[in-house]
Every structure is written in structure tokens, then in C-alpha cells.
Amino acid sequence: MSPLGSLHWLIASGGEAMLFSDASARWPTESAMRKVLVIVPFPMSEQNRDQRRAQLKAVGLGPDIAFDFESVRIAPRNYVSASDMVLADIGILEAGLEAERRGYDAVCIDTMSDSGLAALRSELRIPVIGPGRASMLTAMMLGNRFSIVAMWPHWRHLYVKHLKETGLSHACASIRSIDVAPDNQALLGGKEEEIFPLLEACARACIDQDGAEVILLGSTTMHQAHGFLAERLEVPVINPGPLTYKLAEAVLGLNLSHSRTAYPASPAPKHGMIRAMGDAAEGSGE
């Protein structure tokens, strides 16, 4: 391979790109089927994973990309406390640690918390995409102020963290919730008549009272409400999960990945320890 052939563009989450030379880096050829691993942040049945997989129907993708949905082995009950977030990071790191070795070309994380994203980027050369920051940055391409519509107030800390890290607090018109506990297994299935009007009223308040020009769904577990809201609201509504699938397709097509300068690899990786945590969690039955 020529020296130029081994140069690849890497991009950091803030949009800063750099040249990186790595002759062993693996990029899909133009004709190859590209494979993306979607990490589902909770253990669940195949039937419930199908409801996550249904997000693929909401986005147009090319015929040369495929998505596999796999659940974590380590997870909290929900993402409320600081200890919950540590478990979420470890679980998603463990689930995606071998993705590159298994032949995947990119990883998508199916949670607005972006849990495990930075850790996986430090371990993998392939792109790792999360919907949290990406949704907010996309909103800034579509309007000047956005609001986040969530299921319950206990997720507020997730959004505030992203706003601080991206420096976009000034652009967030509001964070509102309908104060209904989320179901991270069955999602909104069977609850459409109850939940969808509440979400519409919440989004309407964001637009009319708070000045939102773009609405972000606060969770990938809310994806079933996207079409309902998009038809009824006069502003763009961002569906975070499908956004990550399209971003994965885009960065692969551009031969882009995260910056190793922004996400340095560990000088002493502990892969065996991480896998042992997953084995222990799976064996615990919790």
C-alpha cells in the first residue's frame, strides 16, 4: 500500500478532523457490505429487541449496509443515579469491546445518554456513534433553539451533561417531560392513545411557550411517537436512533472515524477484566 493509501481522516465529536496514518486500519471497500453493531443498553428478549430494530424503518439507508442489534449483559434498571451511569458505561463498553475484531465497521449506541461512547472510542478504531450529542448538534443545523421532550424528569441529568459538554446550554429552549415512567423493554407499544397526545402537548408547550424551533425526542425508547409528532408539529422533530444509523452510513462513506488524539488508547488495556465483569453479571441473574 502506498503512503497515501494508509492515510485516513479521523474526526472528533466536536467536528475537528485530523489526518492519521495507520496501514492496518480497515475500511470497507466501495463494493463491500458494511456491518454496524447497534448496542441495546438493557438485557431483553428478541421480541423486545425487535421493537428497537423497528427504528430502521424510519430512515432511508443504502443496500450496502446492515445493522445487528445486540443487548448488553451489564445494565442498571434505569439511568437515574451516578451509580446507574457507571454500570451503563461498563455494560456498553463490554458489549462493544470486540466489535472491530468481529468484523463490524461501526458501532451505534442505542441510548441518548451516550453511555460507553468515550470508552469504546478509546478501544476501537471504527466509528462509534451515540445519539445524545449528535441530536443536539444536528438540531443546530436545523434551527437556533431546540427543546428536549422526555418521558420523565429523572433523565434531565443526561441532557444537562451533554449541553455542558457541547457548550449548547444557551441554545436549549427547555427540557420538558410528561412525567411518565419509561418502559425500556416494551417501549410505547400498546400505550399510543395515552402517551402520544401527552407528548404532543408537551412539545407544543416547548414551541409556543419556550420558543423551540426544533424538537428532540429525549430517548430512543420514544421512537414510536416520532411519526405522530412530526405530522402534527410545524418544526423538525429529531428521532435520535435513526439519526445514528444515517450518521454511521455517512462517516463510513467518507472514511471518517473519531480522533485518536481526542480518544487515546489505554497503555494497559484490561479486556479480560471487562469480559469477566460481563460473565459475572450474566451469571448473577440480576
Residue ranges per structural domain of the chain: 4-131+243-284, 132-240
Determine the pLDDT at residue 157. 96
Determine the pLDDT at residue 30. 55
Determine the pLDDT at residue 283. 80
Q: What is the mean pLDDT of residues 6-25?
A: 36
Q: What is the mean pLDDT of residues 264-278?
A: 95
The three-class DSSP label of residue 176 is strand
The chain-wide mean pLDDT, for the chain, equals 89
Q: What is the mean pLDDT of residues 171-200?
A: 88
Long-range contacts of 134-138 (CB under 8 A, 24+ apart): 134/240, 134/243, 134/244, 134/247, 135/216, 135/217, 135/238, 135/240, 135/243, 136/162, 136/163, 136/166, 136/168, 136/171, 136/172, 136/216, 137/15, 137/166, 137/168, 138/238, 138/243
Q: What is the mean pLDDT of residues 127-135?
A: 98
In this structure, are residues 93 and 119 in contact, taking their beta carbons and an 8 Å threshold?
A: yes
Location of C-alpha cell 430517548: 219
In this structure, are residues 217 and 237 in contact, taking their beta carbons and an 8 Å threshold?
A: yes
Closest of 256, 199, 261, 206 to residue 229, by C-alpha = 199
Location of C-alpha cell 450496502: 64
Domain 132-240 of CATH type 3.40.1160.10? no
Determine the pLDDT at residue 282. 85
Sign of CA dihedral 177, 181, 182, 188: negative
Tell me: pLDDT of 60 over 90: yes
Alpha helix ranges (H) inside 54-130: 82-96, 117-123
Q: How many CB atoms lie within 10 A of CB 149?
A: 28
> Which carries the bigger pLDDT value, residue 5 or residue 194?
194
Determine the pLDDT at residue 12. 34
Tell me: pLDDT of 214 over 80: yes
Domain 132-240 in the same topology as domain 4-131+243-284: yes
Q: What is the mean pLDDT of residues 265-269?
A: 95
User: Model confidence over 157-185: pLDDT tens digits?
Assistant: 999 999 999 999 999 999 999 999 887 77
Determine the pLDDT at residue 32. 85
Q: What is the mean pLDDT of residues 65-70?
A: 97
Determine the pLDDT at residue 31. 58
Domain 4-131+243-284 of CATH type 3.40.50.150? no
